[in-house]
Amino acid sequence: MAKDPVCGMEVDPKRAAGSRTHDHMTFFFCSQGCLKAFDSDSHR
């Protein structure tokens, strides 16, 4: 399991709403909303 960096929810990477690679790390998201929030503030 992975942790959504926006909301902290545990996410199964196989069922994630999306993923992004940032600073050589891959992040997985529980929803499109969290994915969009990350995209607008990915420098955290």
pLDDT in tens, 3-27: 999 999 999 999 999 999 999 999 9
Q: Which pTM does this prediction carry?
A: 0.87
- The yes-or-no verdict on residue 43 having pLDDT over 70 is no
* SS3 annotation, 1-44: CEECCCCCCEECHHHCCEEEEECCEEEEECCHHHHHHHHHCCCC
User: What is the model's pLDDT at position 42?
Assistant: 61
Residue 8 is part of which domain span? Answer: 2-40
Q: How many domains does the chain have?
A: 1
- The yes-or-no verdict on residue 44 having pLDDT over 60 is no
